[in-house]
Amino acid sequence: MFEKAGADGDGSVTAAEMDAAHASKDGKRDKSSAEKIQKLDTDGDGALSATEHAAGAREKMTKVDTDGDGNISQAEFQAKKDR
């Protein structure tokens, strides 16, 4: 996803690029792209670097991986969905 979304090739994804990527994928704009980026944009430059994106994904995974074994089991995935 990341290679495709970084349209200007600088390795970062801006809100506009994320909107464009989502728009081409499902035909509608995701209004919360800017908010999502803001949450993960730890250095505050308004763009999401691969590192920031990875950190966000890791944090999400840690939250779901309740027994901390580094894998999302079906039970953990289900528990997250049910929450």
Binding site for Ca ion (CB under 5 A): 41, 43, 45, 65, 67, 69, 71
27: left (phi over 0), alpha (psi -120 to 50) or beta: left
Nearer to Ca ion, 26 or 67 (CB): 67
Shortest reach from residue 40's CB to Ca ion, in Å: 8
Shortest Å, Cβ 61 to Ca ion: 9
Integer Cα distance of 33 and 68 in angstroms: 29
Structure-token pair, residue 34:
């800017």
Residue 69 beta carbon to Ca ion: minimum distance, rounded to whole angstroms: 4
